[in-house]
């Protein structure tokens, strides 16, 4: 007999192409860290990966203290291009199938998860205690409460493109009433922590599977996870509806743990492109040129590999 | 041949009694974490320790991700007393004997120390970059620059008892111009990090060896360490003079990593007492009642065990 | 709701004094590691500790990869004395109260425990697979099987004082039919691993609480633990009866992970003394001279602190 | 100024295709671990990777305590195929360019490397102490001694195909006088450890760059590394000549830390194929069928990408 029921085993029957291309210009040898690579877990199998740094420089890798994969390198002066491209197998089932409503008391949490119950720079739960108890104190501890938090944020915080700001924490976001996905995630994390629910910030890719393409440029997306029932469970106050095919890159206290790049010195970003869309792995390989005509997602229904690509990739 | 010259081996010829007594009142079973216990290192040998929690409850220990020793327990409702008492051997030489002026380039730092170069909640180095380069950009990287930072803080930030505030970060402290030891430490850490010097916050004990007793109640003290020459080196912008017998308890990003107690639920602090003074280990044992008449420190000259205790323990 | 029922909370109502005195003679500066210090857990609270190394040398500490506490130092040439003395609070209830018969399938074990299912130098489970299935294949997986293993070893392996030998592994022990406590532990661990039960070797102290004093010199004792029901559970094929007041020092793959001392160079052991006996903490303090007339254990009944010490400490 | 001179930065100007195909037949759901994936370091950049498990099953990954990448899964009953394919950029310079003759004293080693100085199951340095001092006691500590060990093993141990045996340790190998690459590695590691040189076993790929193809089937290869001058340095007592393009997969105490597969239950190996050969990345992609006509290595001279493939791939 085992502790918690295993998350149900579901087939990873869809393939998502994810990746990014970054170009930086530096005027001197510049050390940097890259945090771009997702890891295998029960719902994301990294089938193919391509990495390139041009011009080539020596790289080493290490795992940071949130178990993110970090590549460490030093760019030569001039223009450098960093490419990461992957095909990841994911389930066609929407992500809430893995939810389990079993909150833990703090006393029973694994010791290494206690840190995710404490305030952090952008998830300043200590500053939100009264607010949280006033708004969510009535809810039952567990998914009901987490969902109430997501609902409140989704309804009361306006999504405002371009309002991102590295100085504001969850309390400020709630105070000003608008933000970007990072801010929604910070608020969700902070409010869960006020109830001693371990919560962590996540940076990942969210393809538009079973959704209309919003027509905006693809980008990384921030959301959060709450630890209940012996597993980390996905929540997203920004979209606030279970998605299909989400792929986690990195996790941590808050956005400060999940920067995709960190520089020791000055670097100008000259190109920034992110992709995340469903493909047929029989016809798309990593390293191929991006070809959105092969995109299988962006429509309300899920298309299987082998089915014809979406005619209208954009909601426009 | 080895990389960096070893820190000089010096005799640990003095003994310091350190410890604290904390009383909390709780109205329900309340989980908590305690972070009170120093560790052996080349300049602090924990000769004797006494720990007591009354009423007794089960405890477990773990090391947090900054390698601090954490005791985990759940207090029963009512009044609980926590006592920690230790005798620690320390050198009579002042702490700067271990300084080595060899800053590392970021590219050569051990991977697990890179995190100490990044901004954190209270050490918001990203917000101080311009300030730092304007004030300390001319100094040579290494001890000269770190010392310039300490000098500036010591001269320009007023020490104001009771001004501690869990909401303000280094930039705010510099803005308002006053603070407590925690704030001096946050500023020192943040400013070093703007120059890619790994810096960490430290909570510890600082006995008044080779100093007049300031006459204020003994307390924990916050200061900071900078990693150069393959070792962590002590700096203290508050006192800004090398001390003797300092004992490190915990380290981390900033004060948020070094709380001596963390509660999951409400607890009223009913008693708070900290001690840190030089003793003769032949006549003082852990668990003994506190007896400041046996104190050997509090005078400008260092007294050895066996010499008569200080007549006047206070500067008053 | 939580996964496994918590181990029952029981009062730590007895106090055991444990410790050792080691003397080494070296002809040159000699690096060494010491692994002597138990840690707090739910059934052992380290109330008082005394450590001394004479002549004093710098020491640092680290946790090894089995989470043992290791003290690192370099002895000066000549005679060095190492003393460790502690008073540890333990329950008067016998240790099997924490048993829980819930074996895990390998697929559900925490990733960091998988290594305890694999063969190791002295616990060569791969060489015992046929033997194990032949002898214990019929038993139900879990405590029934582990107990059958202990029973078989206790009955079929002769305890032979002085037969310890750093070259023989579990298979050899079973082949020759005799051994010391270390060998019993190696066999227990190896046989459990053949059934994919995570098992680890333990070095600790076993006072004679609720037992006649066997009259032999006190020593460290080796036994083992099996991970079931979300917790490590004690078994001891040598004594094969639940004990009271056992105190774990170190754990690992096998004896090679749990050496109390490791030398880089030659050292002659000149004195070796171990103690482990129940005391009244009101009348015995760490650092006191050993005084076995104050011993409370060594009799079939348990004596509480405050009751008169045992008149006859030896079974002779 | 930094501690040790950086390993020279050299261009990773060659590309090696490595990988394996494994088929297992199981009669029941069978948990397993896979340890196949190399990591980025300064001399191996993983440009492309392809992984497949057929039929697909959920997988998770973790790092074991030697920092190897482990994939954890449970095979369904029947036939399962595991494929890993990668293109790795490596330098054309032979591996000894990174050697640095700076042995560390044990006292100055990083704490987490001390374990690589101790005996392990197959690297039983404790049993070889007399032998080692007798044969290599005269050599200077450092590369001279390590090279003397390799020379002795290469000359005195006969390579005998098919003589691999999971029961024999270094002492046995030296006693019987023959072995496979695993045995050469175990002996090298064990003998270095007798001199307190941290040494670890490595499993990796060794393409035949700048070598005639020996004509034997490609396979994983075992060799070892010694920690000197602040870096792990490659040695290989079997080939005993610096190679080009070696790619490390996993490291550890000995072969027991580096198994490419570990089963919890029975599994029949039905197919085993390993590849490791230089390619032109412009014409070879991961996931392509194996096509040795595109092989660039197997000749004494190094061919650059773009040059014609080797006509005669075999020494025969």
Which tens digit of pLDDT belongs to each residue from D176-196?
A: 999 999 999 999 999 999 999
CA dihedral (B283, B285, B291, B295) positive or negative: positive
In this predicted structure, what is the pLDDT of residue C310?
A: 55
Mean pLDDT of A220-228: 98
Which residues in chain A are closer than 8 Å to C104, comparing Cβ atoms?
2
Mean of the per-residue pLDDT values for chain A? Answer: 94
Which residues in chain C are closer than 8 Å to A102, comparing Cβ atoms?
1-2
Q: Any alpha helices (H) in D71-110, and if so which ranges?
A: none
Nearest-by-Cβ selection for B115 from A65, A121, A124? A65
Beta strands in chain C (DSSP E): 14-26, 30-34, 45-54, 59-63, 69-75, 78-90, 158-159, 178-179, 199-205, 221-228, 231-235, 247-252, 261-264, 268-279
In this predicted structure, what is the pLDDT of residue A310?
A: 55
| A neighbour chains, 3+ CB pairs within 8 Å | B, C, D
Residue A110: which residues within 8 A CB-CB, separation 6 or more? none
pLDDT tens digits, one per residue of A110-169: 999 999 999 999 999 999 999 999 999 999 999 999 999 999 999 999 999 999 999 999
In this predicted structure, what is the pLDDT of residue D1?
A: 37
Report the phi/psi class of residue C57: left, alpha or beta, with left for phi > 0 and alpha for psi in -120 to 50.
Answer: beta
Query: Measured between CA atoms, how close is A42 to chain D, in angstroms?
Result: 5
Q: Helix count (H) and strand count (E) of chain D?
A: 4, 14
Is the pLDDT assigned to residue A185 strictly greater than 90?
A: yes
Q: Is B112 on the interface with D (CB under 8 A)?
A: no
For the beta carbon of residue D198, count every other beta carbon within 10 angstroms: 23
| D neighbour chains, 3+ CB pairs within 8 Å | A, B, C
Closest CA to A206 of A276, A258, A154: A276
pLDDT tens digits, one per residue of D265-284: 999 999 999 999 999 999 99
Q: 0.90 exceeded by the pTM?
A: yes
Task: State what percent of residues in chain B have pLDDT above 70.
Answer: 96
Task: State what percent of residues in chain C have pLDDT above 70.
Answer: 96
Task: State what percent of residues in chain C have pLDDT above 90.
Answer: 90
Complete DSSP assignment for B227-258: EETTEEEEE-TTT-S--SS-EEEEEESSGGG-
- Substitution target in C2, C40, C140 with the highest count of A β-carbons within 10 Å is C2
Nearest-by-Cβ selection for D4 from B3, B6, B105? B3
Mean pLDDT of C163-184: 96
User: DSSP 3-state assignment of A218?
Assistant: coil
Cα dist from C3 to A108, C42, C105, whole Å = 9, 18, 15
Q: Helix count (H) and strand count (E) of chain A?
A: 4, 14
Is the pLDDT assigned to residue B62 strictly greater than 90?
A: yes
Nearest-by-Cβ selection for A50 from D11, D47, D59? D47
In this predicted structure, what is the pLDDT of residue D310?
A: 55
Closest CA to A63 of A290, A250, A309, A230: A250
User: Looking at the predicted complex, does its ipTM rise above 0.90?
Assistant: yes
pLDDT band at D315 (very low <50, low <70, confident <90, very high): very low
Task: State what percent of residues in chain B have pLDDT above 90.
Answer: 90
pLDDT band at D255 (very low <50, low <70, confident <90, very high): very high
Complete DSSP assignment for C207-258: --TTS---SSPP--EEEEEEEETTEEEEE-TTT-S--SS-EEEEEESSGGG-
Pick the range with the lowest mean pLDDT from B150-154, B211-215, C194-198. Answer: B211-215
In this predicted structure, what is the pLDDT of residue A146?
A: 98
Would the CB atoms of A121 and B121 count as touching at under 8 Å? yes
Q: Which two tokens stand for residue B253?
A: 């990003």
Query: N- to C-terminal Cα distance for chain B?
Result: 52
In this predicted structure, what is the pLDDT of residue B314?
A: 46
Pick the range with the lowest mean pLDDT from A216-230, B68-82, B173-187, C295-309. Answer: C295-309
Within 83-102 of A, beta carbons closer than 8 Å to C belong to 102
Query: N- to C-terminal Cα distance for chain D?
Result: 52
In this predicted structure, what is the pLDDT of residue D3?
A: 60
Mean of the per-residue pLDDT values for chain D? Answer: 94
pLDDT tens digits, one per residue of B269-304: 999 999 999 999 999 999 999 999 999 999 999 999
In this predicted structure, what is the pLDDT of residue B3?
A: 60
Q: Is D4 on the interface with B (CB under 8 A)?
A: yes
pLDDT tens digits, one per residue of D55-92: 999 999 999 999 999 999 999 999 999 999 999 999 99
Residue C134: which residues within 8 A CB-CB, separation 6 or more? none
Mean pLDDT of B13-40: 97
Contact A49, A17 (CB under 8 A): no
Burial degree of A158 (CB within 10 A; 0-12, 13-18, 19+): exposed
pLDDT band at B9 (very low <50, low <70, confident <90, very high): confident
Pick the range with the lowest mean pLDDT from A97-101, B46-50, D223-227. Answer: A97-101
Which residues in chain B are closer than 8 Å to C59, comparing Cβ atoms?
40-42, 45
Would the CB atoms of A45 and D61 count as touching at under 8 Å? no
Is the pLDDT assigned to residue D312 strictly greater than 70?
A: no
In this predicted structure, what is the pLDDT of residue B141?
A: 98
Mean pLDDT of C51-72: 96
Contact D174, D122 (CB under 8 A): no
Q: Is C47 on the interface with B (CB under 8 A)?
A: yes
Would the CB atoms of B65 and A60 count as touching at under 8 Å? no
Would the CB atoms of A230 and C104 count as touching at under 8 Å? no
The whole-angstrom separation of Cα B6 and Cα B230 is 9
In this predicted structure, what is the pLDDT of residue C105?
A: 94
Pairing of strands B261-264, B30-34: antiparallel
In this predicted structure, what is the pLDDT of residue D5?
A: 72
Which residues in chain C are closer than 8 Å to A104, comparing Cβ atoms?
2
In this predicted structure, what is the pLDDT of residue C73?
A: 97
Instruction: Please name the residue of chain C whose CA is at the shortest distance from the CA of residue D114.
Output: C64
Within 272-311 of C, beta carbons closer than 8 Å to B belong to 285-287
The whole-angstrom separation of Cα B104 and Cα D277 is 39
Is the pLDDT assigned to residue C89 strictly greater than 60?
A: yes
Mean of the per-residue pLDDT values for chain C? Answer: 94
Per the model's pLDDT, the better-predicted residue between B228 and D311 turns out to be B228
In this predicted structure, what is the pLDDT of residue C1?
A: 38
Is the pLDDT assigned to residue C53 strictly greater than 90?
A: yes
In this predicted structure, what is the pLDDT of residue C267?
A: 97
Query: Measured between CA atoms, how close is B196 to chain D, in angstroms?
Result: 15
Q: Is B112 on the interface with A (CB under 8 A)?
A: yes
In this predicted structure, what is the pLDDT of residue C55?
A: 97
| B neighbour chains, 3+ CB pairs within 8 Å | A, C, D
pLDDT band at D215 (very low <50, low <70, confident <90, very high): confident
In this predicted structure, what is the pLDDT of residue B96?
A: 94
In this predicted structure, what is the pLDDT of residue B313?
A: 45
In this predicted structure, what is the pLDDT of residue C138?
A: 97
Would the CB atoms of B264 and A107 count as touching at under 8 Å? yes
Is the pLDDT assigned to residue B312 strictly greater than 80?
A: no
pLDDT tens digits, one per residue of B250-274: 999 999 999 999 999 999 999 999 9
Contact D242, D94 (CB under 8 A): yes
Element (H, E) at D185: helix D181-194
């Amino acid at each position: 007999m085992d502790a918690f029921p295993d998350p149900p085993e579901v087939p990873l029957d869809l393939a998502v192409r994810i990746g990014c291309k970054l170009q930086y210009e530096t005027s001197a040898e510049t050390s940097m860290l890259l945090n771009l690579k997702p890891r295998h877990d029960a719902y994301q199998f990294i089938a193919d990966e391509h990495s390139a740094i041009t011009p080539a420089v020596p790289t080493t890798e290490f795992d940071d203290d949130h178990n993110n994969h970090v590549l460490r390198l030093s760019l030569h002066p001039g223009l450098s291009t960093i490419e990461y491209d992957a095909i990841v197998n994911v389930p066609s089932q929407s992500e809430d199938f893995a939810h389990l409503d079993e909150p833990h008391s703090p006393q029973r949490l694994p010791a290494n998860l206690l840190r995710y119950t404490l305030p952090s720079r952008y998830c300043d739960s200590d500053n939100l205690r009264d607010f949280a108890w006033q708004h969510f104190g009535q809810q039952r501890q567990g998914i009901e409460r987490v969902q109430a938090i997501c609902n409140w944020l989704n309804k009361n915080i306006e999504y405002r493109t371009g309002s991102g700001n590295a100085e504001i924490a969850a309390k400020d976001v709630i105070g000003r009433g608008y933000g970007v996905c990072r801010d929604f995630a910070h608020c969700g994390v902070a409010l869960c922590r006020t109830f001693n629910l371990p919560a962590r910030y996540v940076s990942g890719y969210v393809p538009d599977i079973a959704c209309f393409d919003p027509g905006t440029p693809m980008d990384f997306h921030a959301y959060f996870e709450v630890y209940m029932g012996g597993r980390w469970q996905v929540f997203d106050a920004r979209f606030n509806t279970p998605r299909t095919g989400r792929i986690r890159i990195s996790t941590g206290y808050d956005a400060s743990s999940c920067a995709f790049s960190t520089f020791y010195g000055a670097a100008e970003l000259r190109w920034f492109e992110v992709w995340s869309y469903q493909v047929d792995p029989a016809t798309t390989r990593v390293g191929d040129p991006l070809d959105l005509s092969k995109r299988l997602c962006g429509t309300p229904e899920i298309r299987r590999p082998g089915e014809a690509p979406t005619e209208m990739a954009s909601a426009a």
